[in-house]
């Protein structure tokens, strides 16, 4: 897809879309954004994220998404800036990504959980440098922990669109970050000022993939997060993204059957019955079920997942442990009771996650395709 850089052409394009699409008025094809001339650039200079007067999230913020200025955003302090590409490409890089992400989300809302997980798995191994995207016989992508990660092809499509607009300018690492931020908003989370300026990594080794596993205790998982400078509270907040997406039986099946390593006698009996049908002990299946068993969940980000944990309806042992371990249970309770707190903390901690060990300036490079180091 070629993106117009000229305002007149944009308006003609929009006019044609409006005439040709009865859905246009309800925001299909990203028209909510398009009508404000999306491909032109609103700002010419990148800006540092600014902090607004702190308003305690716990004080009860309105849950509806608000303009950035209404929330106390904390810049990551990593050297990234908001609007890095404003003076680097004739087209508006972030709006192009937003446009394509909206289209994809309408077709397949599971792209939201897919990219949330991909972002986490990328950032916790060599930082947010898109090293997870690299193809090859023993790259990160091939590591056991990454085998069911999804969304690679979509990122590659975004990259191709941006390469045709401004070749060699936009990093794959930034594409993941901006696309994930757009998806969080589409999934009902807060819109936050995404920082950009990441470079792509030059290294990707399966052997370096040391991610937390779903059978860990809270202490064990917290130690992995602490090594990346995340507090226990921030870990509990990030695990709230298990509000969306799926898990395969092999990650939790042991909790269902007496005599197995992780058998959990406290799991809600009705959930046990239901999960046993999805994941019979024999024959072993590769079935999946939602990570969040809240029946109203539908690829939507909200805090009901924590309520599920408090009701002993967590799927992964590590998630369930959060509500049982005294070190984390009060955090779970607080998040379960305050949707606004969940919204603001997830967005704030996501800014921090997306800045883990980033490469900037002369470090790393810009790939031509995300699957290959140039």
Catalytic (active-site) positions: 121
Of 287, 290, 308, the residue nearest 299 (C-alpha): 290
Among 187, 189, 212, 314, binds ligand HEM (CB under 6 A): 212
Total chain residues near ligand HEM (CB under 6 A): 24
Question: Is 222 a binder of ligand HEM (CB under 6 A)?
Answer: no
- Start-to-end C-alpha separation, the chain: 23
**Any known ligand binding at 127?**
yes
Q: Binding site annotation covers 129? A: yes
Using the contact rule CB under 6 A, the part of the chain among 65-73, 75-83, 86-94, 211-219 near ligand HEM is 211-219
Cα–Cα distance measured from residue 242 to residue 305, given in angstroms and rounded to the nearest whole number: 7
Locate all alpha helices (DSSP H) within 191-268, ordered by sequence: 218-227, 232-239
Q: Is 46 annotated as a binding residue?
A: no
Residues from 111 through 130 that contact ligand HEM (CB under 6 A): 113-114, 116-117, 120
CB of 326 to ligand HEM, least distance (A): 18
148 binds ligand HEM (CB under 6 A): yes
Residue 212 among known ligand-binding residues: yes
**Tokens standing for residue 143:** 């590591």
Question: What is the C-alpha to C-alpha distance for residues 204 and 129, in angstroms, rounded to an integer?
Answer: 10
Tell me how far apart the alpha carbons of residues 374 and 369 are, in angstroms, rounded to a whole number: 8
By the 8 A CB rule, do 133 and 141 touch? yes
Q: 283: cis peptide before it, omega within 30°?
A: yes
Find the binder of ligand HEM among 5, 13, 37, 213 (CB under 6 A): 213
175 binds ligand HEM (CB under 6 A): no
DSSP helix/strand/coil, 101: helix
Q: Which residues, 338 to 357, sit near ligand HEM by CB under 6 A?
A: none
Q: How far is the CB of 322 from ligand HEM (least distance, A)?
A: 9
CA distances from 172 to 5, 22, 129, 246 (A): 22, 35, 8, 25
The reply on whether position 228 binds ligand HEM by CB under 6 A is: no
**Residue 142: CA atoms inside 13 Å, Cβ hemisphere, count?**
11
The residue range among 44-52, 108-116, 156-164, 265-273 that interacts with ligand HEM, by the rule CB under 6 A, is 108-116
29-57 in b/e burial notation, b at 16+ Cβ within 10 A?
A: bbbeebeebbbebeeeebeebeeeeeeeb
CB 236, min distance to ligand HEM, A: 10
Task: Confirm whether residue 98 is marked as ligand binding.
Answer: no
Name residues contacting ligand HEM, limited to 230-249 (CB under 6 A).
238-239, 241-242, 244-248
Q: Which is nearer to ligand HEM, 110 or 363 (CB)?
A: 110
Closest approach of ligand HEM to the CB of residue 167, in Å:
31
Phi first, then psi: what are they for 112, rounded to 5°?
A: -65, -60
Least CB distance to ligand HEM at residue 169 (A): 27
Q: Cβ 12 to ligand HEM, closest distance in Å?
A: 39
Q: In this structure, are residues 167 and 148 in contact, taking their beta carbons and an 8 Å threshold?
A: no
Interface positions, 254-313, toward ligand HEM (CB under 6 A): 291
Torsion region of 235: left, alpha or beta (phi above 0 gives left; psi -120 to 50 gives alpha): alpha
The verdict on 221 binding ligand HEM (CB under 6 A) reads yes
Q: Is the CB of residue 169 less than 8 Å from the CB of residue 89?
A: yes
The footprint of ligand HEM (CB under 6 A) covers 113-114, 116-117, 120, 148, 150, 212-214, 221, 238-239, 241-242, 244-248, 251, 291, 316, 318
Binding residue numbers for Ca(2+)? 122, 125, 127, 129, 131, 140, 294
Binding residue numbers? 122, 125, 127, 129, 131, 140, 212, 242, 294
């Amino acid at each position: 897809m070629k993106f117009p850089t000229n305002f007149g052409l944009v308006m003609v394009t929009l006019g044609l879309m409006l005439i040709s699409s009865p859905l246009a008025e309800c925001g299909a094809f990203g028209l909510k954004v398009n009508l404000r001339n999306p491909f032109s650039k609103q700002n010419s200079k990148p800006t540092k994220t600014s902090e607004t007067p702190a308003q305690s999230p716990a004080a009860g913020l309105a849950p509806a998404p608000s303009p950035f200025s209404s929330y106390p955003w904390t810049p990551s302090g990593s050297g990234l800036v908001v609007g890095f590409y404003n003076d680097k490409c004739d087209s508006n890089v972030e709006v192009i990504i937003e446009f394509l992400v909206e289209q994809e989300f309408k077709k397949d809302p599971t792209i939201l959980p897919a990219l949330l997980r991909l972002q986490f798995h990328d950032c916790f191994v060599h930082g947010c440098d898109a090293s997870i995207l690299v193809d090859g016989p023993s790259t990160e992508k091939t590591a056991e922990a990454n085998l069911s990660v999804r969304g690679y092809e979509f990122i590659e499509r975004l990259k191709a669109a941006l390469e045709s607009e401004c070749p060699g300018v936009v990093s794959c690492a930034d594409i993941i970050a901006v696309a994930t931020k757009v998806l969080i908003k589409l999934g009902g989370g807060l819109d936050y000022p995404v920082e950009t300026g990441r470079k792509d990594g030059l290294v990707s080794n399966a052997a370096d993939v040391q991610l937390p596993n779903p059978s860990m205790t809270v202490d064990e998982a917290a130690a992995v997060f602490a090594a990346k400078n995340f507090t226990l509270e921030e870990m509990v907040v990030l695990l709230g993204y298990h509000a969306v997406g799926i898990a395969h039986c092999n990650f939790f099946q042991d909790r269902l059957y007496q005599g197995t390593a992780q058998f959990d006698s406290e799991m809600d009996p009705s959930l046990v019955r239901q999960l046993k049908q999805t994941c019979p002990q024999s024959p072993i299946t590769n079935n999946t079920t939602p990570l969040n068993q809240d029946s109203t969940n539908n690829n939507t980000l909200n805090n009901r997942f924590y309520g599920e944990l408090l009701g002993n309806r967590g799927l992964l042992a590590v998630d369930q442990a959060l509500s049982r371990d005294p070190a984390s249970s009060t955090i779970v309770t607080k998040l379960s009771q305050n949707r606004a707190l969940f919204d603001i903390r997830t967005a704030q901690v996501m800014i921090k996650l997306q800045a883990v060990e980033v490469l900037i300036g002369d470090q790393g490079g810009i790939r031509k395709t995300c699957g290959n180091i140039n």
